[in-house]
Structure 1
Amino acid sequence: MKFRLFLATLLISLFSFSQQVKSPSEFLGYELGTTFSRHHQVIEYYKYLAEVLPEVVQLKTYGTTNEGRELLLAFVSTPSNINNLEHIRKEHLEALNGNVASEKALVWLSYNVHGNEAVSTEASMKTIYEVVTQKKEWLKNTVVIFDPCINPDGRDRYVNWYNSNKNTPFTIDPNSKEHHEGWLSGRSNHYMFDLNRDWAWVTQKESKQRLAVYNDWLPHIHVDFHEQGINNPYYFAPAAEPMHEVITQWQRNFQVEIGKNHAKYFDENGWFYFTKEVFDLLYPSYGDTYPIYSGSIGMTYEQGGSGRAGLGVKIDNGDTLTLKDRIAHHYTTGLSTIEMATKNAAELNEEFSKFYSNKDYTYNSYVLSGDIDKLKMLTDLLDVHRIKYGFTKSKVKGLSYKSKKNETLNSNSQKLVISTNQPKSTLVTVLFEPETKLTDSLTYDITAWALPYAYGLDAVATKNIVSTSSNSIEYVPKVFEENAYAYVTNWNSMKDARFMTTLLKNKIRIRYAKEPFTIHNENFDRGSLIITKGDNSNVKNFNTILKTTAEKYHKQLTTTATGFVNTGKDFGSSAVQMIEDQKIAVLSGGSVSTLNFGEVWHFFEQQLHYPITILDDDYFNSIDLSEYTILILPEMNSLDDKKLEKIKEWIRNGGKLIAIGDAIKTLKGDDFSISSNETSKEEEEKDSISKPKSYASSTREYIKNMITGAIYKAKVDTTHPLAYGYDTTYYTMKLSGDSYKYLDSKNAVYIENTTKPLTGFAGSNAQKKQANSLVFATESMGKGTVVYLVDNPLFRGFWENGKLVFVNALFMVE
């Protein structure tokens, strides 16, 4: 009798508990799925849950966005686990030392990395409510980490746009404006960066803050919730080929098991889905691959919908896809994922530990040498990923990244060593491997990214572990001498560029050398900066500003009491030019690529720290371009004749135009001498008589014309102002099969006879066009200049070695 009374009381209390916790619909005041929730409303709901269930939900604010929105994590588990959260975390990370110490499964669910894929944040609220009310038994051996919105700036941009443009009631007609988002879409973050491609490069504020917490936890399972085209069925794991060879068999197998569990629920509801297609596991900077290379089961889930779907839209089969449908699907896979973690907690812990045990890699140390500033930038990235490294001054022999032959790295200066004898060995292998093995050339993203190329450093890969003698870069400071005639410093990296722009903003006048010179037995190459006391006699606190700025950027200033050089041109020569302050504008809107526009915008504001004006396509024709010295055309599809004529007249009058990638195609007319590098007639005829191809092979035939992010070795004319700070070799990231012929002169960087990339995929037809093709060049037009950047040097903000080319285009090219 007492037991029955106890059981009845327990059931009543459980019922009361579930009743006292408000559902998202009850809390928000509208039925979930009938409107889009703004970010602050979502955050308020999560804070509400933490307030009413503090023993089950613990919140952590891990940062803010560029626009000031809160980035929040919710840790959900039993009261006992929440009270011991830090102990669970530390116990779990013992696996990095090869120990299986934990019995808890850790699941991290990331929502809305693409802002206009807006359903997942809504689904997160429904999912967490279900977990804390109906699925509490799963939490006994599981901690679930919810990130309700990775990209709040983009999401609110989309939600505000949609609410301003939707019909009332909403219309399902796909032609209606509410299904056609504008140019400044909500997909990307504030700076128009795709945060789902930034996990490894960590160029964005949101990524840096998230990775700091993610690497504190390294969960067993990480899910990245997305949306795709409105007519696509739901996608979930297992992923498609190519899968990177470092992915373990168990990681592959468990994806299959999770997929089967999802399929069970989708089958019950009659929902369509697909697996093993489109979404591969190769490129390391995704929300599924980065976790996989860190030991997790990383997965992408894709719901049909995205920015076109709104609250409801008619799809090709005549059905209506609603926001409620989309929520239900993400909610189902989210719960199914947690269920699989709970059922397999012991195996997850065991296999996670195995992942961090000793492995057999082709190469076990990567040794890099080069400019000390570039080495420092790379170690800053390694620190974010908690990758261990050291330094050596010994000679090291291994596979050269330059020649792909065994060579000795002879430099006596500090060399950076990253070895695989550390927990992050798999990630090291992926980020540094000289050649990525492709199991399938049909891939969703770029196929090459090796960091020595990206940072412009000499490197060798060795099969042995290279010992190190120190763990930090050694800077040898020079004593700052006041009242010198001039201060001289080299020009090699973005730190040099930031040093320069900081001085310019402080009204310090700077010259640069157009010819190499030697002074006081020190050699200085083209582009070296010369700051004279005479040029800055009217600047108050000149010495203080210069010294403080030099210390900030670790600049080694050589002082001289004379402008008379040992060799080369004296400081008063016409070969020593003043760096002019520039008034710079960039075109936005129209057919401009939002991603490349964002790369330019972010570069100026967050990397170079130099002002830029954004001119929109809508009112461009009313702008007086004479107010600007430089105009940047990001990648774009078209430019109307009126705008083009306006730009050409401005160039002839002394303006400088910088055209990136596809923007070059919009520059039509005899004024521009750049032309496409097409295949020969003989090759075209040879292709035309080949055997007919099957319908099924059409996609394979198409990729023959593509280059999916391959790295090519290019030759550099070091006398060209675009190439100041570079040696005779440049590694360029090619993102398409487009190519252009050499100009008659002023070719700064170009590919010679090479057709095949050093690493990465290039289709057979695309390869034919790369020999004797242009990478970077300039030409004169009247009093002005056109700068052609065929390959985007600012790609995703991570191709560090291209950034100085862009700065040279701004300040060194006349």
Structure 2
Amino acid sequence: MTKFLFSLVLFVSFSVSAQQLMSPSEFLGYELGTQFTRHHEVVDYYEYLAESAPDRVKLTVYGKTNERRPLILAYVSSAENLSNLENIRQEHLKDTNGTGSGSKAIVWLSYNVHGNESVSTEASMKTIYELLTKKSSYLDNTVVIMDPCINPDGRDRYSNWYNQYKNTPFQVDPNSKEHHEGWWSGRSNHYMFDLNRDWAWLTQIESQQRLKVFNQWLPHIHVDFHEQGVNNPYYFAPAAEPYHEVITDFQRDFQVTLGRNHAKYFDANGWFYFTKEVFDLLYPSYGDTYPIYNGAIGMTYEQGGSGQAGLGIVTAIGDTLTLKDRIAHHFTTGLSTVEVSSQNAEKLNEEFRKFHQNKEFKYKSYVLKGDNDKINALKSLLDKHNIEYGDLSSGSYRGHSYTSGSSGSLSIDKNGMVVSTDQPKGTLVKVLFEPNAKLSDSLTYDITAWSLPYAYGLDAIASTSKVSGQGPQQAQARTNITTGSYAYLTDWNSMEDARFLAALLKEGIRVRKTDHPFSIEGKSFERGTLIITKGDNENKEDFIQSLQTIASNFKKDLTSTTTGFVDSGKDFGSSSIQMITKPKVAVLSGGPTSTLRFGEIWHFFEQQLNYPLTVIDDDYANRVDLNEYQILVLPDGRYGNHFNEEQLSNLKDWVRKGGKIIAMGGSIDALDGEKGFGIKRKQLEKDSGDNKPQPYKDWERERIKGAITGAIFKTKVDNTNPLAYGYGSDYFSLKLGSSAFEYLDNGNAVYLEGNTKPFSGFAGTEAQKRISESLVFGVENHGRGQVIYMVDNPLFRGFWENGKLFFANALFMVD
């Protein structure tokens, strides 16, 4: 057979194969864009493509959601590349240490991280079909990895809601019900977390499972498909300032290259778009920035629409925006991305290798020490990111002190570790650990501080020298449980201690705590120490066995004592050694509460503390007998005058009888002022100085003076207050806004003094004045009960590890 005839046969064979593949519309039985496709139908289509073109599509299930929906990835490439996929992956990863010779472009397309930004999953089906048919030439030197839906639980929540409430035919009037989701929209995942802000913190099961695979590939290109308000035109790269300083010139320039190619297609169609606005590249936990800090060209693409748009909606200028329009736009930028990547495969590989060469960062090593549980919690996070670290058991180290904010030293005699930037993940280490990220512009889209030593409550220094550590050692817990002991003692310093206590209480083991330091049998113990006595548990037949099992599960050190007679402090029979009650906890949902802030509490109880929680919705809260509960949590939100006089009176009466309110963020507004509680908003006297009118163009810059965009402040701690047991004299708090409340008459557990300059991140000058000498966390007694005020959020996005013990103290220590 001649070469010409052989090529003709191959062409005809391929054409027949391409024609045999059904398009999304043919497979689903309706024209794409005329309905929202449920997740199982999307999976069905991808499975169909993998079965019909197994030489060019490989489908894998990389995990499941909380609601048991599958998380899938499709690998799409030429038959030759797909048959050699593992070798391509391994050769590409070798480029991170300079020994590889990768030649293929690796492009990862992520769709539908926000469930009600639902167009992108629809667009993914059209995109993969086009890649397998008309645009298959892009795949000759490119591997495309497609995640058609990062957030299936949120997507199905939205699509099912929309299918229930839409008009037939769909109604473009924006006032119609189908354009107004309820309190629990489809944006978030099962626990109401924003998955697009979880890439670095990995608090959610979807993120954890996805990152395992992402780290096995580390693509050259990563696109995160989104939607924004219905009246906004399309947004694509290049991004807005601030860019983090570690972002390379090539990463910046290639965003422009991609943007110009997208613009070519949008211009030809007369579609509107914008670039270089709003969406910056700083916060490390986004779907664009996290890949960038791992060597990729990370980008966000934003289509107008979101959960409001439905199948069609009239915009502010009178145009009708349809789901078909939205699909066309995401489809176009997706294909354009693959096209440009294919054209620049060699350059992408070359620059990827350069990115992972050693960089001359100012700080070469980050040396940390602290409570062993906190060290282990940080190690667990670093393991998930494939970040290398070493143990330190002794030594003194100099550098930038995180505690003082200036040059200092750190002495280690145990529980130390070091993380160096001299490793393949060195850039990510610099971004996550640096004391204070450099800001090229104070107008940012998200928080401006996140440094892990502060987040995990560890003493640390950043060293300009490389510090070498030992291989991580596995410590063994000493339980010391003997049947003849009077009591078993253990410390209270971390969330692991809180989980241990929660497990004991659920098992029916009675536990006491001390409100005073004491020493016994030559050992010293601090406030909050847990005391588990044989006498309190004599009616529990399997007491010793249960205690042993739980202690082993949590690798908990227990100290046995043969007496309750202390050397100093209070004896175990003292009224100061109080029983910890097993509280029944309720949390308000719906109505005035923020879904994200409610979700943080829900996730904290079920997935972090492993303790039961009753969710009471605002719709029927008035019919619930609060006397069945010991604790009511009011999540952050927009309360204003949400509670009427009768409701406030009932709350006050319930607290006086022994109830406990944990009021967080905006819920404090529902209790302050003349409402019978002692909390008062702090008023800032207006500066009578320069009152000249400001130009309209400067309004945003003027506004930012009164804002705090997620900055870290050093606060004072009264650790004699039960709300602050387990803490030192200082706490670094992540402050998310400039709301400020006056000191309480008594019970100020954590507070800001006069100097309110942030240790890390941005805070406007007016905001700094407002929060000066203000409350952070406090306890107010009312009769036999308490109100606990949490102005700052200790559970923010589930990643501020050092704040979580405050919440546990509010549950178990404050009485």
- Same fold, TM-score > 0.5, yes or no: yes
- Show the 5 A alignment for 1:130-279: 130-279=130-279
The answer for the alignment partner of 2:337 in structure 1 is 337
The CA deviation at 1:252 is: 0.4
Does residue 1:684 correspond to 2:690, yes or no?
no
The answer for the alignment partner of 1:283 in structure 2 is 283
The answer for the alignment partner of 1:415 in structure 2 is 416
Q: Per-residue displacement from partner, 1:269-293 (whole Å, max 9, x unpaired)?
A: 0000000000000000000000000
- Show the 5 A alignment for 1:113-132: 113-132=113-132
The CA deviation at 1:480 is: 3.0
Distance 1:4 1:542 in 2: 83
The CA deviation at 1:645 is: 3.2
Which segment drifts farther, 148-157 or 671-680?
671-680
Distance 2:9 2:512 in 1: 84
Q: Per-residue displacement from partner, 1:326-350 (whole Å, max 9, x unpaired)?
A: 0000000000000011000000000
SS in structure 1 opposite 2:693?
Answer: coil
Question: Does structure 1 conserve the Cα–Cα contact (< 8 Å) formed by 2:375 and 2:415?
Answer: no
Which segment drifts farther, 601-610 or 414-423?
414-423
Distance 2:198 2:11 in 1: 48
Distance 1:597 1:459 in 2: 32
Distance 2:588 2:319 in 1: 40
Distance 2:585 2:675 in 1: 26
Question: Does structure 1 conserve the Cα–Cα contact (< 8 Å) formed by 2:477 and 2:556?
Answer: no
The answer for the alignment partner of 1:744 in structure 2 is 745
Distance 2:155 2:455 in 1: 31
The CA deviation at 1:4 is: 7.0
Distance 1:796 1:10 in 2: 53
SS in structure 2 opposite 1:395?
Answer: strand
Does residue 1:809 correspond to 2:814, yes or no?
no
Question: Does structure 2 conserve the Cα–Cα contact (< 8 Å) formed by 1:391 and 1:473?
Answer: no
The CA deviation at 1:672 is: 1.2
Question: Does structure 1 conserve the Cα–Cα contact (< 8 Å) formed by 2:480 and 2:560?
Answer: no
Question: Does structure 1 conserve the Cα–Cα contact (< 8 Å) formed by 2:397 and 2:411?
Answer: yes
Does residue 1:779 correspond to 2:759, yes or no?
no
Which segment drifts farther, 581-590 or 638-647?
638-647
Does residue 1:445 correspond to 2:449, yes or no?
no
SS in structure 2 opposite 1:714?
Answer: strand
- Show the 5 A alignment for 1:446-525: 446-475=447-476, 477-525=478-526
Question: Does structure 1 conserve the Cα–Cα contact (< 8 Å) formed by 2:108 and 2:223?
Answer: yes
Q: Per-residue displacement from partner, 1:18-76 (whole Å, max 9, x unpaired)?
A: 22100000000000000000000000000000000000000110000000000000000
The CA deviation at 1:476 is: 5.3
Give me the TM-score of the superposition, normalised by structure 1: 0.98
Question: Does structure 1 conserve the Cα–Cα contact (< 8 Å) formed by 2:93 and 2:100?
Answer: no
Q: Which amino acid aligns with 2:677?
A: F
Distance 1:546 1:208 in 2: 31
Q: Unaligned stretches of 5+ in structure 2?
A: none
Distance 1:611 1:242 in 2: 42
The CA deviation at 1:244 is: 0.2
The answer for the alignment partner of 2:695 in structure 1 is 694
Q: Per-residue displacement from partner, 1:226-278 (whole Å, max 9, x unpaired)?
A: 00000000000000000100000110000010000000000000000000000
The answer for the alignment partner of 2:652 in structure 1 is 648
Distance 2:46 2:384 in 1: 28
SS in structure 2 opposite 1:379?
Answer: helix
The answer for the alignment partner of 2:26 in structure 1 is 26
Distance 1:567 1:132 in 2: 77
Question: Does structure 1 conserve the Cα–Cα contact (< 8 Å) formed by 2:126 and 2:331?
Answer: yes
Length, aligned pairs only: 810
SS in structure 2 opposite 1:378?
Answer: helix
The answer for the alignment partner of 1:758 in structure 2 is 759
- Show the 5 A alignment for 1:332-731: 332-392=332-392, 393-475=394-476, 477-638=478-639, 639-641=642-644, 642-668=646-672, 669-680=674-685, 683-686=686-689, 689-731=690-732
Q: Per-residue displacement from partner, 1:455-475 (whole Å, max 9, x unpaired)?
A: 111000000001113323534
Compared CA separation, residues 293 and 4, structure 1 to 2 (3 A): closer
Distance 1:752 1:79 in 2: 66
Question: Does structure 2 conserve the Cα–Cα contact (< 8 Å) formed by 1:228 and 1:306?
Answer: yes
Question: Does structure 2 conserve the Cα–Cα contact (< 8 Å) formed by 1:755 and 1:769?
Answer: no
Q: Per-residue displacement from partner, 1:499-534 (whole Å, max 9, x unpaired)?
A: 001011100000000100111221110000000011
Question: Does structure 2 conserve the Cα–Cα contact (< 8 Å) formed by 1:104 and 1:141?
Answer: yes
Distance 2:109 2:536 in 1: 58
Question: Does structure 2 conserve the Cα–Cα contact (< 8 Å) formed by 1:620 and 1:643?
Answer: no
CA RMSD of aligned residues (A): 1.2
Q: Which amino acid aligns with 1:288?
A: D
SS in structure 1 opposite 2:190?
Answer: coil
SS in structure 1 opposite 2:257?
Answer: helix
The CA deviation at 1:478 is: 4.7
Compared CA separation, residues 156 and 521, structure 1 to 2 (3 A): same
Distance 1:670 1:324 in 2: 52
SS in structure 2 opposite 1:705?
Answer: coil
Give me the TM-score of the superposition, normalised by structure 2: 0.98
Distance 2:10 2:206 in 1: 44
Distance 2:687 2:159 in 1: 49
